[in-house]
Structure 1
Amino acid sequence: MLVHFGPPPPGPRRLRLRLLCIAHAGAGAAPFRGWGELVPDWISVVGVRLPGRESRLREPLLTSMEDVARHIIAELEGPTGPVALFGHCFGGPVAFRVAQLLEEASTCEVVRLVTASAPVPGRVAEGRLTHELSSDQLYASLVGTGAMNDGQFGRSIFGLTENAIRADFQAFETWSAQDFGRIKAPILAVKGEDDRVLGGDSADEWASFTEGRFTRRSIPGGHFLLGDGAPALIDVVARQLADDHAGR
């Protein structure tokens, strides 16, 4: 399901650019609720709500990257205007695969891929896979990255989202393609200055996944940038899309 935030731009500028936003493992469209108010009015912010979360809580989960990406493609309504893709953490590799499929189908122009706190395809840590961790281990891992708040309702929220989180990690960790290829669209990779989850040069790894221009930005914050770090992140994304728009 695609969730549109804020009214679309009026008149002939309607849907001049759709910004398709994909969140971290287990999350839906809610993290992007306020984005439409903080970007130029010629950008239409669209959040992705996959099965198994928010209003789709009871729907069967998707556990392969190909199924996740093709599910999103199917939600797009035929040929559209230009599209930019944004992916946070797990959403980064998903957005990359969606961009590949859109470019292969030639149904719309992909003007930009923006990743934030995102591992590149195939970057799976050695040892036990995250989706195979026990509930306690998984919860501790999420708290450690800042993706889960170990407060009064932390365990309750985790109980509601655990299955979706596992499904998303499984999709990423079992993505078996040997050559992930590249996209034509330029890539902007954003990383928090205090990110303790990904390596220091992790954002630079995205450079090999585009035939176009690669740009790297660091902003204040840790690994989880959709919380307190969101205003700075949105500003970087909006500025990049404005530069892209001015250069067209």
Structure 2
Amino acid sequence: MTTSQPRPPRKVLVDFGSPEPAPRRLRLLCIAHAGAGAAPFGPWSGLVPDWISVVGVRLPGRESRLRENVLTSMEDVARHIADQLAGHTGPVALFGHCFGGPVAFRVGQLLENARECDVVRLITASAPVPGRVPAGRLTHELSSDDLYASLVAAGAMSDGPNGRSIFELTEHAIRADFQAFETWSAQDFGRIRAPILTVNGEDDRVLGGDSSDEWASLTEGRFTSRSTPGGHFLLGDGTPALVDIIVRQLADDHAGR
């Protein structure tokens, strides 16, 4: 009688650059919006200079980890990611799009507290402020139809058969990510030591125009805000402009070190 062996855990971090970055190479750790995995960041490796290694985050419940149990606690999500960088001593910049912004913030704090790697910058795009949940019914409690409609309105889903199919495949991960954000309070965690850059779309109707400045209170370092053409969802056609802003900021940081 044969016994089945447990499957090895799927990769959390997907390196789209060199599989073994040089010690002085900057690791750009990228966390996507609710329900998404590492795939949106695959094209980034062709848009950044050689001294930046793009690393995408793949949480449970998406892509090759589709059958794994999702995480519904922000602390569990952040620690799941930070644990993967244990022993990494090189410089790290964190990027988060939408839901990924608050996650990147908490990951940065955990990495700073561990004092193993050098967190040089936190960059967010179209990201809500940690702990700021709009009044009214919580998104993770919406019906499937209402949740899908809200994602279409934000530009995160297409309104058609393909979009609906993708939504049905990823709904559990999307809902889990919203739950993690909407049930988390960042008030007890203080600030991050790394400087923060926020990037918002000029036509973002989801966050409004005042969200970026609230991020300024969450860093002990310098705060910078930029805008770029586009709406709330910046990982589509707006990717080249967004990556250009990120690379310019990281180059300035590198020159000033």
TM norm. shorter chain > 0.5: yes
Which has the larger displacement, 110-119 or 148-157?
Answer: 148-157
Cα distance between partner residues in 1 of 2:52 and 2:26: 5
Normalising to structure 1: TM-score of the pair? 0.96
1:42-57 alignment to 2 at 5 Å?
42-57=51-66
Q: Go from structure 1 to structure 2 and tell me whether the alpha carbon gap of 1:177 and 1:205 turns closer, same or farther (over 3 Å shift).
A: closer
Q: Go from structure 1 to structure 2 and tell me whether the alpha carbon gap of 1:69 and 1:56 turns closer, same or farther (over 3 Å shift).
A: same
1:170-189 alignment to 2 at 5 Å?
170-189=179-198
Q: For the Cα contact (< 8 Å) 2:91–2:120, is it kept in 1?
A: yes
2:117: which partner in 1? 108
Cα distance between partner residues in 2 of 1:233 and 1:80: 27
Normalising to structure 2: TM-score of the pair? 0.93
Q: Percent identity?
A: 81
1:169: which partner in 2? 178
Size of the alignment, in residue pairs?
246
How many Å apart are 1:177 and its aligned residue?
4.3
Cα distance between partner residues in 1 of 2:48 and 2:59: 24
Residue 7 (str. 1) matches residue 1 (str. 2): no
1:201: which partner in 2? 210
Residue 75 (str. 1) matches residue 84 (str. 2): yes
Q: Go from structure 1 to structure 2 and tell me whether the alpha carbon gap of 1:9 and 1:51 turns closer, same or farther (over 3 Å shift).
A: closer
How many Å apart are 1:77 and its aligned residue?
4.1
Please provide the CA RMSD for this pair.
1.3
How many Å apart are 1:138 and its aligned residue?
0.0
Match of 1:226 among 207, 212, 235: 235
Cα distance between partner residues in 2 of 1:77 and 1:102: 9
2:132: which partner in 1? 123
Cα distance between partner residues in 1 of 2:167 and 2:81: 24
| Structure 1: unaligned runs, 5 residues or longer | none
Residue 89 (str. 1) matches residue 98 (str. 2): yes
Which has the larger displacement, 79-88 or 170-179?
Answer: 170-179
Q: Go from structure 1 to structure 2 and tell me whether the alpha carbon gap of 1:46 and 1:200 turns closer, same or farther (over 3 Å shift).
A: same
Tell me which stretches of 4 or more aligned residues in structure 1 moved more than 6 Å.
none
Q: Go from structure 1 to structure 2 and tell me whether the alpha carbon gap of 1:203 and 1:177 turns closer, same or farther (over 3 Å shift).
A: closer
Match of 1:156 among 153, 158, 165: 165
Which has the larger displacement, 13-22 or 118-127?
Answer: 13-22
Q: In structure 2, give the amino acid aligned to 1:4.
A: D
1:125-169 CA distances to partner (integer Å, 9 max, x unpaired)? 101000000000000000000000113301100000000000000
